[in-house]
């Protein structure tokens, strides 16, 4: 079976999800998902009557992007696999040197990722996930490529693992002719598909990806013919084809987006917004009436300029107004209610701008958002971050950008996404615990009952910082305190000795430089 036939066979399972994704796109970002038969030419899209949907999608995608791939921060950490050294103890100096090397590797990779367009493609993929619930990313050696839901089909096993992917791309024939010289001989019997559409200069290229035991293999076809040098293979751990889902349902090969969960509110909001806009336009229209028996001619009134003088009676002229203000008020209240629900659903944070807004209120609001986002990160961390990191490590090692790492000794760990939220929650809980002790038992209770070394270690762990050779232990602190006390004593003795020597010097100087008393004049005898 050719790749085209397999694509058409799997499309039947995708049609329902694709239609839902198209409906969701029309209410949020109309350009995002289009019909499968839509060509690449410019097409005028119908925009919704409200912008809450688009704002919600962009906001949620941006928040997910910042959590998964935070800027100026590494989303992963290289560390030794402790299970490989259960019976061996590594010297602290050696571990410190290894950590320094791992840190250099992390910086090298993050600089390369920042210089590429990975974040742009990932952000676009997240918008597809929020709207359509599905997105496919192909990780090439130097860049990423995104496939929307209308350009690929997927098949999974009972556990949700991908076993087959078929993509469809429309490419110019001149590009394919350079790869397949005898392509012109098979044009005629396939080009009826594009007859009269102005696309007879294009052809469909299918990429067929299949799982073969512990690896993935793929190739490209055009008109049922395999394109030379298009074959590829990769182990499962470094598979470049990432079929992402937002929400999963059992026995479904495709995911469901966030917009689908609130599509009822979006439809209601769009209908109410349309009614308000059209009603407001009708209410704003000014129409004058002239009594049939009036001597004032409507043409004269229409041609009269501002401040003009015309003959007639004012009572014969009236104005038609639309009394729909009450209906508008009801619609406005309903719109505000729906917008509030959608703002909470898509994490549109609006902090009150007032004097009563406190930092604690803002912090609590952010914590609630993080807790709500935590469930959304779980699947993305497993389906995206882990394979993305494994693929990047493989590419960098093959290119010689970083040294080869022994897979049995070095373990990459994700420190972003749901893991970062968990560490943030631990930090907040520890801070609240310390504040509670200080408020109930007094600040002196912290120094009396709390181990400062353990507090520092837990704070460092909550922020993903390794304390090895960074934080001194209690023994080292006590030794340092003793040394500091000894130095203080020595300093005081030195000051005292210096002061004593200074006093002795002042006395000697005073005795040596004492002025001689002047001689008293001899008393003259009295005569």
More confident residue, 178 or 249: 249
**Nearest residue to 53 via CA among 396, 353, 345:** 345
Phi-psi label, residue 170: left if phi above 0, alpha if psi -120 to 50, beta otherwise: beta
Contacts of 147 (CB under 8 A, 6+ apart): 135, 136, 137, 138, 167
Rg of the chain, C-alpha, whole Å: 38
Classify burial at 514, counting beta carbons within 10 Å of its beta carbon; exposed 0-12, middle 13-18, buried 19 or more.
Answer: exposed
Which residue is associated with the tokens 């970002």? 29
**Nearest residue to 138 via CA among 163, 121, 162, 153:** 121
More confident residue, 220 or 424: 220
More confident residue, 373 or 39: 373
Name the strands in the sheet holding 241-245, side by side, starting at the edge strand that comes first in the sequence.
Answer: 144-147, 134-139, 241-245
CA 275 to chain centre: 35
Which residues of 173-316 form beta strands (DSSP E)? 202-212, 215-222, 225-226, 232-235, 241-245, 287-290
pLDDT over threshold 50, residue 527: no
Question: Which pLDDT score is estimated for 420?
Answer: 62
More confident residue, 385 or 502: 385
- For every residue of 364-399, DSSP letters joined together read HHHHHHHHHHHHHHHHHIIIIIHHHHHHHHHHHHHH
Question: Which pLDDT score is estimated for 174?
Answer: 82
Q: What percentage of the chain exceeds 70 in pLDDT?
A: 74
Question: Which pLDDT score is estimated for 262?
Answer: 94
Model confidence at 154, in pLDDT bands (50, 70, 90)? very high
3-class DSSP assignment, residue 134: strand
Contacts of 467 (CB under 8 A, 6+ apart): 456, 457, 460, 461
- Please check whether residue 243 is in contact with residue 388, taking contact to mean a CB–CB distance below 8 angstroms: no
- For every residue of 397-465, DSSP letters joined together read HHHTSS----TTTEEEEE-STHHHHHHHHHHHHHHHHHHHHHHHH-THHHHHH--HHHHHHHHHHHTT-
pLDDT over threshold 80, residue 522: no
Q: What percentage of the chain exceeds 90 in pLDDT?
A: 32
**Nearest residue to 131 via CA among 13, 248, 246, 11:** 246
State how far the Cα of 212 lies from the Cα of 209, in Å rounded to an integer. 10
Model confidence at 384, in pLDDT bands (50, 70, 90)? very high
Q: Which residues are 136's β-sheet partners?
A: 147, 243
pLDDT over threshold 50, residue 6: yes
Mean pLDDT of the chain: 80
- Please check whether residue 126 is in contact with residue 65, taking contact to mean a CB–CB distance below 8 angstroms: yes
Least reliable range by pLDDT among 220-224, 486-490, 519-523: 519-523
**Phi and psi angles of residue 308, each rounded to the nearest 5 degrees, phi first:** -75, 160
pLDDT over threshold 70, residue 514: no
More confident residue, 401 or 458: 401
Question: Which pLDDT score is estimated for 521?
Answer: 47
pLDDT over threshold 90, residue 327: no
Model confidence at 523, in pLDDT bands (50, 70, 90)? very low
- Please check whether residue 328 is in contact with residue 280, taking contact to mean a CB–CB distance below 8 angstroms: yes
State how far the Cα of 268 lies from the Cα of 337, in Å rounded to an integer. 11
Q: Which residues are 242's β-sheet partners?
A: 137
Model confidence at 326, in pLDDT bands (50, 70, 90)? low
Task: Please write the tens of the pLDDT for every residue from 453-465.
Answer: 778 777 776 665 6
Mean pLDDT, residues 44-56 taken together: 90
More confident residue, 100 or 395: 395
- For every residue of 189-206, DSSP letters joined together read TTGGGGTTTT-TTEEEEE
pLDDT over threshold 90, residue 209: yes
State how far the Cα of 148 lies from the Cα of 57, in Å rounded to an integer. 16
Least reliable range by pLDDT among 164-173, 314-323, 401-410: 314-323
Least reliable range by pLDDT among 81-85, 148-152, 239-243, 388-392: 81-85
**Nearest residue to 269 via CA among 192, 182, 164, 340:** 340
Return the ∠ at Cα 416 (arms to 254 and 62), rounded to 5°.
65
pLDDT over threshold 50, residue 196: no
CA 110 to chain centre: 16
Model confidence at 519, in pLDDT bands (50, 70, 90)? very low
**Nearest residue to 243 via CA among 141, 128, 143:** 128
Question: Which pLDDT score is estimated for 513?
Answer: 52
Mean pLDDT, residues 154-158 taken together: 93
pTM greater than 0.85 (yes/no):
no
pLDDT over threshold 90, residue 235: yes
More confident residue, 26 or 505: 26
pLDDT over threshold 70, residue 467: no
Taken as a whole, the chain contains a residue count of 527
* DSSP letter, residue 35: -
More confident residue, 96 or 61: 61
Question: Which pLDDT score is estimated for 413?
Answer: 85
Mean pLDDT, residues 410-417 taken together: 80
């Amino acid at each position: 079976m050719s790749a085209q036939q397999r694509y058409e066979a799997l499309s039947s399972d995708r049609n329902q999800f694709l239609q839902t994704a198209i409906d969701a796109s029309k209410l949020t970002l109309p350009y995002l998902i289009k019909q499968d038969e839509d060509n690449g030419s410019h097409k005028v899209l119908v925009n919704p009557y409200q912008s809450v949907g688009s704002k919600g999608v962009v906001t949620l995608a941006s928040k997910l992007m910042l959590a998964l791939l935070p800027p100026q921060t590494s989303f992963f950490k290289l560390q030794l696999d402790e299970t490989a050294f259960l019976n061996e103890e590594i010297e602290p100096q050696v571990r410190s040197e290894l950590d320094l090397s791992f840190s250099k590797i992390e910086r090298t990779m993050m600089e390369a990722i920042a210089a590429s367009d990975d974040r742009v493609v990932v952000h676009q993929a997240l918008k597809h996930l929020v709207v359509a619930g599905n997105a496919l990313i192909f990780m090439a050696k130097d860049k990423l490529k995104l496939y929307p839901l209308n350009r690929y089909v997927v098949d999974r096993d009972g556990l949700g693992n991908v076993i087959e992917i078929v993509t469809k791309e429309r490419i110019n024939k001149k590009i394919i002719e350079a790869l397949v010289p005898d392509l012109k001989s098979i044009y005629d019997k396939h080009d009826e598909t594009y007859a009269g559409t102005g696309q007879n200069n294009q052809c469909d290229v299918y990429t067929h990806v299949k799982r073969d035991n512990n690896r993935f293999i793929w190739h490209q076809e055009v008109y049922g013919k395999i394109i030379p040098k298009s074959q590829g293979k990769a182990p499962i751990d470094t598979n470049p084809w990432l079929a992402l889902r937002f929400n999963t349902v059992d026995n479904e090969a495709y995911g469901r987006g966030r917009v689908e969960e609130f599509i009822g509110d979006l439809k209601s909001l769009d209908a109410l917004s349309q009614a308000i806009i059209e009603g407001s336009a009708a209410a704003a229209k000014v129409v004058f009436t002239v009594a049939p028996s009036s001597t004032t001619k409507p043409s004269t009134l229409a041609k009269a300029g501002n401040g003009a003088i015309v003959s007639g009676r004012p009572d014969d002229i009236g104005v038609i107004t639309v009394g729909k203000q009450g209906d508008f008020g009801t619609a406005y209240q309903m719109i505000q209610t729906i917008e509030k629900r959608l703002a909470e659903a898509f994490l549109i944070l609006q902090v009150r701008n007032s004097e009563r807004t406190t930092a604690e209120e803002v912090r609590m609001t952010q914590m609630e958002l993080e807790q709500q986002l935590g469930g959304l990160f779980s699947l993305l961390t497993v389906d995206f971050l882990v394979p993305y990191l494994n693929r990047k490590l493989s590419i960098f090692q093959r290119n010689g950008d970083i040294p080869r790492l022994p897979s049995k000794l070095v373990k990459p760990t994700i420190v972003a996404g749901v893991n970062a939220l968990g560490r943030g929650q631990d930090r907040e809980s520890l801070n609240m615990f310390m504040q509670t002790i200080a408020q109930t038992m007094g600040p002196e209770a912290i120094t009396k009952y709390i181990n400062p070394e353990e507090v520092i270690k837990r704070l460092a762990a909550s922020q993903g910082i390794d304390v090895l050779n960074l934080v001194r232990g209690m023994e080292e602190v006590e030794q340092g305190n003793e040394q500091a006390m000894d130095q203080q004593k020595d300093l005081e003795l030195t000051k005292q000795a210096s002061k004593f020597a200074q006093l002795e010097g002042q006395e000697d100087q005073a005795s040596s430089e004492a002025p001689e008393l002047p001689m008293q004049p001899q008393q003259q005898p009295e005569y």
